[in-house]
């Protein structure tokens, strides 16, 4: 097919700043509906890249494709707002209005894209541009403090590295460092100082330790009640925004005016959607999905005469059996909360201990370990942005870390039948510490018959936030506290012959910034101390794993 292409077209925003875009459209026919992708990652596309394949798919199906550098990036003028989405919303609305007025456009504009490009769509829709008919955002968060820069107040290191690469200038930085060495230096502020980049932005993020007005610049899910455009949400079980995407779906689906206008697709994917392989796992041919095609089919429903009934409200992939399921809501099936108690007779420290998940308490009422911030437990994969071998993402074998004495390991009985978990597992812990503030990390794993311990989902809590993210309350050394820790959302079937395993420790580095155990800011302070941690599990203090278990498994439905 022949195309018409216009490069570096400048569109003037309401404040006079000009933003650059490339416009491509079929050479015959028209006018066309336009699909807009606004990106901080460079609108220029290599002709042999996957991005060009995505563009041509839209062109071959009768769309005009518009890719724009957001404000302050690459060939667009202005200053990059860096996760301040009010500006992105206004710029998107101005762009959509301009596109709808062009003679080659039929007045209908849709948006697509993932990650930052997903955020942009949400805030574009909140400006209510008349020509915007549908959006298809993937893998994005909805709260700066809870799931973007931080997770429940704790810095997400892969997001800080993303910001070092992308948020500190007009073009992406190539930072040549030994990341493992740099990340281990204290204080964490050294990360920015050593890179030679401006420190003010990161100080701004890291010194605001409460979920206050600053973080509203990155949005609040409550704002989305104003959203009224059709939305196709997509995410991955091993993406750092997995829980946020499902939370956004549930919130939008609860709005009466969004009835039949929001859909969700969750696969066994990392931050990049659609691949059958993640980490050390191959989830089979069913997981190999063309996410661009899925997005386009959704946009067809609203920009053309597509069949909306072809889109189930929820499509989710059940790992373990590696099958797709369809539903009309989330949670998708009847769920019962089941629990397993933490127990041991001697000690649960490392794989050499006798920690177990059971329906009765053991002889020992507590387990103890020492957390040393200078020697943190390393995350092996997980829900994060991947940056080289030192920050791999996805499912990985956890046994190398389970050998450590500062990790408690509780393993369940060998399963005689399948156990399907759909939703967010939680852990209730009764703890004490000799530190005023510290972290507790919990991880649910699937133990295979050959011994592999594959991470399913992870949870973390910083104890200063145990009573809310708008306050910081230190602990009294030796006092016992009850913590409730939600893990990442998931859908997994533990198969017969497998075991469930729960890990408990106090660091997950470099996925999350370390707690120095001092009650300080953990950003600019170099001081740290060891912390002695006690996990209680007895009739008086029944620490336990809570599982959302499917009680009515529908028939298999291959996608």
Where does residue 470 rank: exposed (0-12), middle (13-18), buried (19+ CB within 10 A)?
exposed
Catalytic site residues?
Answer: 115, 239, 271
Q: Whole-model pTM?
A: 0.96
- Give 388's pLDDT tier (boundaries 50, 70, 90): confident
Mean pLDDT of 36-57: 86
Percent of the chain with pLDDT over 90: 81
What does the pLDDT look like over 434-459, one tens digit per residue? 999 999 999 999 999 999 999 999 99
Take residue 247 and report the two structure tokens written for it: 């939370």
Mean pLDDT of 537-558: 81
DSSP for 263-312, written as a single string: EEEEES--SS-S-SEETTEE--GGG---HHHHHHHHHHHHHS---GGGS-
Residue for token pair 């994005």 = 140
Residue 384's nearest CA partner among 395, 400, 374 is: 395
Mean pLDDT of 539-552: 95
User: Hey, what CATH topology would domain 335-550 get?
Assistant: Jelly Rolls (2.60.120)
**Rounded distance, CA 428 to CA 6, Å?**
58
- pLDDT averaged over the chain? 93
38 in Cβ contact with 87 (< 8 Å): no
Residue 496 has pLDDT above 50, yes or no: yes
Please, which residues have CB within 8 angstroms of residue 254's CB and are 6 or more apart in sequence? Answer: none
Predicted local confidence at residue 187, as pLDDT? 87
**Rounded distance, CA 552 to CA 545, Å?**
21
Q: CA–CA distance from 85 to each of 96, 143, 393 (Å)?
A: 16, 11, 27
β-partners of residue 121 are none
- CA 172-176-177 angle, to 5 degrees, is 125
What does the pLDDT look like over 85-131, one tens digit per residue? 889 999 999 999 999 999 999 999 999 999 999 999 999 999 999 99
Mean pLDDT of 511-521: 96
What does the pLDDT look like over 419-437, one tens digit per residue? 999 999 999 999 999 999 9
- All CATH 2.60.120.260 domain ranges of the chain, comma separated, are 335-550
Predicted local confidence at residue 558, as pLDDT? 35
Residue 366 has pLDDT above 50, yes or no: yes
Residue 554 has pLDDT above 60, yes or no: no
Query: Pairing relation of β-strands 105-114 and 132-138?
Result: parallel
34 in Cβ contact with 2 (< 8 Å): no
Residue 215's nearest CA partner among 127, 257, 135, 152 is: 152
CATH superfamily, region 3-139+224-327: Alpha/Beta hydrolase fold, catalytic domain (3.40.50.1820)
- Give 553's pLDDT tier (boundaries 50, 70, 90): low
Predicted local confidence at residue 241, as pLDDT? 98
Mean pLDDT of 277-301: 97
- Give 555's pLDDT tier (boundaries 50, 70, 90): very low
- All CATH 3.40.50.1820 domain ranges of the chain, comma separated, are 3-139+224-327
**Rounded distance, CA 553 to CA 461, Å?**
32
- Give 306's pLDDT tier (boundaries 50, 70, 90): low
Residue 129's nearest CA partner among 182, 88, 92, 82 is: 92
Residue 333 has pLDDT above 70, yes or no: yes
- CA 232-234-240 angle, to 5 degrees, is 145
Kindly report the number of other CB atoms within 10 A of residue 14's CB atom. Answer: 10
């Amino acid at each position: 097919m022949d195309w018409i292409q216009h490069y570096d077209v400048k569109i003037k925003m309401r404040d006079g700043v000009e933003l650059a875009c490339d416009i491509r459209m079929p050479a015959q026919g028209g006018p066309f509906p336009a699909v807009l992708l606004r990106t901080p990652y460079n609108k220029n596309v290599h002709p042999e890249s996957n991005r060009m394949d995505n563009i041509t798919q839209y062109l071959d199906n009768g769309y005009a494709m518009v890719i724009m550098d957001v404000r302050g990036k690459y060939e667009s003028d202005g200053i990059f707002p860096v996760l301040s989405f009010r500006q992105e919303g206004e710029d998107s609305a101005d762009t959509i209005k301009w596109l709808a007025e062009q003679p080659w456009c039929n007045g209908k504009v849709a948006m697509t894209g993932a990650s930052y490009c997903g955020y942009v769509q949400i805030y574009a829709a909140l400006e209510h541009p008349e020509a915007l008919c549908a959006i298809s955002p993937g893998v994005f968060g909805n709260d700066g403090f809870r799931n973007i820069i931080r997770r429940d107040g704790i810095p997400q290191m892969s997001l800080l590295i993303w910001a070092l690469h992308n948020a500190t200038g007009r073009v992406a930085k190539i930072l040549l460092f030994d990341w493992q060495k740099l990340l281990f230096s204290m204080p964490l502020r050294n990360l920015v100082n050593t890179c030679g980049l401006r420190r003010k932005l990161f100080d701004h993020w890291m010194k605001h330790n409460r979920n206050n007005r600053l973080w509203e610049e990155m949005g609040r899910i409550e704002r989305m009640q104003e959203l009224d455009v059709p939305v196709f949400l997509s995410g991955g079980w091993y993406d750092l925004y997995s829980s946020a995407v499902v939370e956004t779906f549930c919130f939008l689906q609860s709005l009466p005016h969004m009835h039949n206008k929001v859909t969700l697709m969750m696969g066994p994917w990392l931050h990049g959607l659609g691949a059958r392989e993640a980490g050390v796992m191959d989830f089979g041919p069913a997981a190999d999905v063309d996410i661009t095609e899925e997005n386009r089919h959704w946009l067809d429903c609203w920009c053309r005469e597509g069949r909306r009934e072809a889109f189930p409200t929820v499509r989710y992939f059940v790992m373990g059996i590696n099958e797709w399921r369809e539903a009309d809501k989330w949670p998708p099936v009847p769920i019962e909360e089941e629990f397993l108690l933490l127990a041991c007779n001697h000690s649960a420290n490392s794989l050499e201990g006798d920690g177990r998940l059971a329906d009765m308490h053991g002889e020992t009422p507590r387990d103890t370990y020492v957390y040393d911030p200078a020697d943190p437990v390393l995350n092996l994969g997980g829900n994060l942005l991947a940056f080289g071998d030192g920050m791999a993402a996805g499912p990985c074998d956890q046994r190398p870390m389970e050998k450590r004495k500062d990790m408690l390991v509780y393993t369940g009985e060998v399963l005689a039948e399948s156990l399907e978990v759909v939703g967010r597992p939680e852990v209730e812990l009764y703890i004490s510490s000799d530190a005023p503030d510290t972290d507790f990390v919990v991880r649910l794993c699937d133990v295979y018959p050959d011994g592999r311990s594959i991470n399913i989902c992870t949870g973390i809590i910083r104890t200063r936030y145990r009573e809310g993210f708008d306050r910081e309350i230190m602990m009294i050394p030796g006092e016992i506290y009850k913590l409730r820790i939600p893990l990442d959302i998931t859908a997994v079937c533990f198969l017969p012959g497998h075991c469930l395993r729960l890990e408990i420790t106090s660091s997950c580095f470099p996925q999350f910034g370390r707690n120095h155990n001092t009650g300080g800011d953990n950003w600019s302070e170099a001081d740290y101390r060891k912390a002695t941690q006690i996990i209680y599990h007895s009739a008086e203090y029944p620490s336990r794993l809570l599982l959302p278990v499917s009680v009515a498994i529908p028939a298999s439905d291959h996608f």
